[in-house]
Structure formats: structure tokens, C-alpha cells
Structure 1
């Protein structure tokens, strides 16, 4: 396929996403007010607690088998690499721009977590349905793509609600402690055992000034880690999307459960059909919410332009280039098979805009909500060009 044909194939799903987002933006305007703050919150809760777990469970239950999971063992590793590399680049961006502590977790999270959910659900089927798609037969492409997308969504949900959630929670806690200490900056310490001020200051200063030994550093790190583990709420790791993914994995790898639920002759097929129907509402609803939330990004916020440019650089230049190297190396060393669609999805993991779940987490901690809207506005606007160009390049690489 020529470059122009590949470009058109890659552009169609991105335009579809932008059109849906535009509808959400219009519905959120004050003159229309069909997706105002209250309506967005209600719809977001329905998507989070009902639609998304049904979508993930239904997708995984139908498409996943134990053999397929063994063949796709590199995908969880690939997604983890996107999170780790993205978070490192985000941490560097925070240091370079001197961003405040309350935005540190938001910036790192936006650099680490890509939209592995609703965007892939639009992009992959749309590319498969194009007449000039480089991935062959449409039906086979859609079936294989559904399996790849479902695993991507499930693994991404687990990483977001464990890895990214922990980062954003830590920075939110540090910001909260910093705010409290700022309000109570003057602290008076009475000398112990009635000692005079002159006798107590010198030992205190000498203790503070003495460098910590290696054992003391280890003990300090251990105490800090234990405190963080105690404050970590396991219920957030078991988010509804994660629970839906676990159920879908179990049904997919247990043949008896699959026979009971999936197929025209399955006795409990009505249960699966109901979950599938609810799951189909996820993509349009989430995309409408994305567009409605972008309205907040049009208003003023305190985020620096350098931070937005830095996130765009990380997500649309640095990560995709690194992704090409990682995936090509994995193919070269035999860790990834020759399937071009599989390789394409692995590369695409590195070129996606930030996950919309970042906004949910920022709302949960009440830190950087307005700034998150601005970041989403610019990253999703630029994704129209960036995702199209990278998808075109990725398809040319895997089909050559």
C-alpha cells in the first residue's frame, strides 16, 4: 500500500473519535446543557461501574483462550514498559519545568498511561473495515483485533489502578502534608528533662548534620514503604473494570464456562448477550464524556505551556520512537511472532493520548482537575494528526 492509502486508513478512526468528541463538547455547552457537570458525573459513574466492566468481561470471555494468552505473553510486558518509560520521562519533565508538587502525579500519570480502552476499540475495527487495510481479511482482522484490544484494555486497567494510582496518591498525600506544614511553619520544641536550651541544641544539630549510615537509610526506606503500604486501599486496585477483566479471563480460559455462556446453543447465552449489549454503550458514552470534559480545558488554568508541550513531546515523539525500537527488537529476538496486526498494536501502545482514567483519579483526589482538562484538550486535539501519522508509519513497518 502507498503512503496516501495508509494515511487515509489511519485517519478514518481518528476522525470518528473527534466527531464523537465534538458532539460531546456541543452537548456540554451552556446553551444546550445536556451534558452538564451533574449529567457528566452520572454518566461517568454508569460507564465506570456498569458499561466498562461489562465490555471488558464480554470481550475477554469471547476472544481469550489459554493458548492465545500464551502467544500474547509479551503484550503485558510491552504495556508495562510504556508505563515505566513514560513515568520516567514524566518525572524528568517535572524536574525541568519546576512544576508544583500538586501537579507532579498528574503530569507523570499523563506521560505514563495511554488510552488503551475506548480509543483502541475505535481504531482497530475501523482499520480492519477499510478496503485497503494491510491486515488482510476483514472478518479475521476484526476477530484477532478484538482479542488484542480486550487484553490491552484489561492489562491497562490493572496497571492504571495499581501503578499510576499509587504515584498520584503519593504525590497527593505529599501535597496535602506540605499544605498543612505551610500553615504551621513555626514549631517550638521544649528541652527534654528540663535541660537548658544551650545544652539541647548542640546534640540536635550534630545529629541532623551527621550523614545517615547505609543501615539507617535502609531502615528509613523500609519505614516509609510500610507507611505507604498501610495507606494503600486494595479496593481501588479491584476497580469494576479490573473485576470485569478477571471474570472475563476466567470464562475465557475455562472451556466449560465458555460453553455455558457463549454461543447460539449456550444455556446461559442471555446473560452474556446482556453484558455484551451493555458493553457496547461504553465507546460512544466515554467518547461523549471526553468531549464534554474538554469544555473545561477551554477555560483558564494554572498549568504552564511548557508542561503541555513536554507531555506532547513525551507521548507523540519520544514514546513512539522508543516503541518502534522495543517492538522491532522483540521481533528480532523471537519474543513476538510475525503477525503484522499484533506488531502494529504493540507499537500503537506507545503512541496513544493519555488515558481518560487519569481525570477520574484526579477528581478522586481533588488535585489538578482543571489542569487535567487542559492537558486532555491539547493531547486529544494533537492526536488527530500525531496518531494518524504514527499509525501510517507503523502499518508501513509491519507490512513491509
Structure 2
């Protein structure tokens, strides 16, 4: 296929995203009062708790099997590499631009986490339709493409909330701790640090809720205290690694305690300290349900197919999940509208994020995927390779905006970065998609 034809094929899905995003921004204007803050919050909740889990579970259940899960083993590694390499590039941007401390977590998050779920969910089916059989039969392309994209969305969601969330929280907690020192006397701060019952909510975010710590829980409580005592330091790579190791160690200790058996009161105390909603987001739960149904043949026979006894359950989930893509895209447009107001953010920082996301990462991704193909690690399907390449060329994940709102740091700056990156994505995604198709076909 000629490159110009591939360019036209790649342009169509990007234009679809752009048009729906523009509609979202248009109806969010003050003169229409349709998708303002009071409307976005409940719609965002519907997307988070209902639409996305239904979409993931229904698509994965229909398209994934135990065999295909084994074939797609490289995808989790590919996404993890894109996240970690993006974090490394983000660290370089911080050093080069001398990013203010309160924005460092935002920069790392935007450089590491790409929108590996929502945008591929629109782009890949459109590419199957527009490519005129370049990726095989349109129906087979759509079926396989939705399996790849759903898997990408599920894995990306897990990485975002387990990896990127912790990075953003570490930097946010550091700023909160410094502000707390400025607003209180030295004596009161020292007393608060010595008392484990006065640990800040920021030090544990959504994952841990610390109440009264008895003597028998001192070992686990000490792990959390070590994290909060870093308030006067600049976070280094070792701090990020240590935090993840501490979180894993903490979870491991709790699992060991449950294995040994405890009385009901102690179990209740531990369940209050660990917020499982943060560990198992609705999208993660929906992904697990879909993969279990797809991998277990008896469940698939009961739920999947027109002749399945409970096919109405699957059909209902698919109907609800179909609302996810337009709702998400409209919300992206409405949220990007905030970036037009600006926030006095330095231009070099925005340019640095754009270079990382649309030049450096895609170039590295080409080397990684082609290297995996050379060593025979990848399934030979060109569409699968296209999805893997696409994961390196996407703008920042929308969840980054949610994290900044959650912690109350860098909200305006995040809107500016999102507006700039998604505006540039119109051109960069088209060019990279055309190049990726030329590379794999």
C-alpha cells in the first residue's frame, strides 16, 4: 500500500476523535451549559464505574481465550517498557527545564502514561474499516483489534493506578509535607512525626487508611512512617523504587498474617486500613471478569454466542459498554477547554512533554517492537504489531488529570499540557499511524 493511501487511512480515525472532542468542548461552553462541571462529574462517574467495566468485560469475554492470552504475553511487557522509558525521559525533562517541585510528579506522569485504552479503542476499529482489507477481513480485523485494544486498556489501567499513581502521590505528598511544616510550629511537627496516630492522609493516599495502630501492628506501621519522614528531601529514583517495595512488602505481610489466621476484630482493623477500591478499580475488575470468562470454556459457552443460555447478560453488557467511547471522547473535549485559560506554565516544559510523547517514545517503540519481531517473540499478526507500536505514540492518559484533581496539585498546569498534547496528537498520530502501517504491512 502506498504511503499516501496509508496516510489517508490513518487520518480518518484521528479526524473522528477530533470531531467528537470538538463537540465535547463546544457543549461545555458557558453559553450552552450542557457539559459544565456539574454535568461532567456524574458523567465521569458513569464512565468510570459502569461504561468502561462493561466495555472491557464484554469485549474480553467475546474475543479472548486461554490460547490468545498466551499469545499476547508480550503486550504487558511492551506497555511496562513504554511507561518506564517515558518516566526516564520525564526525569530528563525535569533536570533540563528545572521543573518546579510541585509539577515534577505531573511531568513524570504525563511522560510515562499514554492513553493506551481510550484512543486505540477508537483508532483501531476505524483503521480496520478504512484500510479496505489491509489487515484482513474487516469483521476479523474488528474482532481481533477489539481483543488487542481491550487487553491494552486493561493492562494500562492497572499500570496507571499501581505505578503512575504512586509516582504522582510521592511528589504530591512531599509538597504537602513541606507546606505543613511552613504552616505549623517546629514543636508541633516534631510531635506529629513521633506519634504514629497522626500520620497524614496524604502519606497513604487511597491505598492505606491508618487509624489507631496497636503494638502488634508496629512492624507494618513502621513501613508507612518511613515514607512520611522523607518530607525535606528531593525524591530520587531510589525513593520511587523504595516506595513500591514498601507497598509490596506491606501487602505481603498482611497476606502472611491472613494465612496464619486471626480473630474477627483484627481482620476488621486490617480491612479498614487497606482500601481495596484503589487496588481493584472498576476497570481492573471488569478486565478480570472478562478474561476469566474468556479463558474458562464452560463459562464462555454459557454466556457467549447467540445460542448461549445466558447470552442476554453478555448482550446487555455490550450495550452498556458501547456508550463508553463517545462519553469518554466528549469528556476529553470538555476537560481540554480548561487549558485555554492557561496557567502561566513555562513553554519549555510543555515542549519537552510533547517531544517525549510524540518523538522520543515512538522512535524507541519502533526499535523495541521490531527487535521483538526479529527474535520471534511476537504473534505474526500485523494488526497486533500495529497496536504495540501505537502504544508508544499516544498523548498522556486522561487519568493524569483525575490524579491532579484528587491531590489538588497542578490542576491548571495539567489542563494546559493536555490541551497542547492532544492538539499536537492530531498531526503526530496521523503521521505515526501511517508509518506504523507501512512498517507492518
TM-score, length-normalised on structure 1? 0.88
Structure showing greater Rg: 1
Matches within 5 A, 1:279-318: 279-318=321-360
For 2:33 and 2:75, locate their aligned partners in 1 and report how far apart those are by CA, in whole Å: 41
**Structure 1: distance between partners of 2:65 and 2:245:** 41
CA distances 1:37-91 after superposition (whole Å, capped 9, x unpaired)? 0101110011001101111111111111010011110011001100110111112
Is the CA contact 1:25–1:294 (under 8 Å) kept in the aligned structure 2?
A: yes
Confirm or deny: 8 A CA contact 1:262 1:269 kept in the other structure: yes
Which residue of structure 2 aligns with residue 359 of structure 1?
A: 401
CA distance in 1, matches of 2:288, 2:159: 14
Q: 1:222 to 1:372 in 2, by over 3 A?
A: closer
Matched, 1:121 2:121: yes
Q: Is the 8 A contact 1:9 1:132 kept in 2?
A: no
Distance in 2 separating the partners of 1:228 and 1:304? 39
1:334-364 Cα distance to aligned partner (Å, 9 max, x none): 1113221111111111001111111112211
Q: How far apart, in 2, do the equivalents of 1:223 and 1:287 lie?
A: 32
Residue 226 to residue 36, structure 1, CA distance change in 2 (3 Å): closer
1:4 and 1:289, CA in 2 relative to 1: closer, same or farther beyond 3 A?
same
What is residue 154 of structure 1 aligned with on the other side?
Answer: 154
User: How far apart, CA to CA, are the structure 1 residues paired with 2:114 and 2:83?
Assistant: 8
Residue in 2 that maps onto 1:245: 287
In 1, Cα distance between equivalents of 2:148 and 2:293:
17
Query: What is the aligned partner in structure 2 of residue 273 from structure 1?
Result: 315
Match of 1:336 among 372, 375, 378: 378
Structure 1, gaps ≥5 residues long: 190-216
| Contact 2:72–2:379 (CA under 8 A) maintained in structure 1 | no
Partner residue in 1 for 2:143: 143
Q: Aligned with 1:298: secondary structure?
A: helix
The alignment of Structure 1 onto Structure 2 pairs a total of residues equal to: 370
SS in 1 for 2:121: helix
Alignment of 1:50-89 (within 5 A): 50-89=50-89
Distance 1:244 1:84, change over 3 A: same
Name the structure 2 match of 1:377: 419
Q: Cα distance, 1:269 vs. partner?
A: 1.2
Report if aligned partners of 1:344, 1:398 keep a CA contact under 8 Å in 2. Answer: yes
What pairs with 1:249-260 in structure 2 (closer than 5 Å)? 249-260=291-302
Conserved in 1, the CA contact under 8 Å of 2:110 and 2:353?
yes
List gaps (5 residues or longer) in structure 2. Answer: 191-237, 252-272
- TM-score, length of structure 2 as denominator length: 0.80
Give 1:164's aligned residue: 164
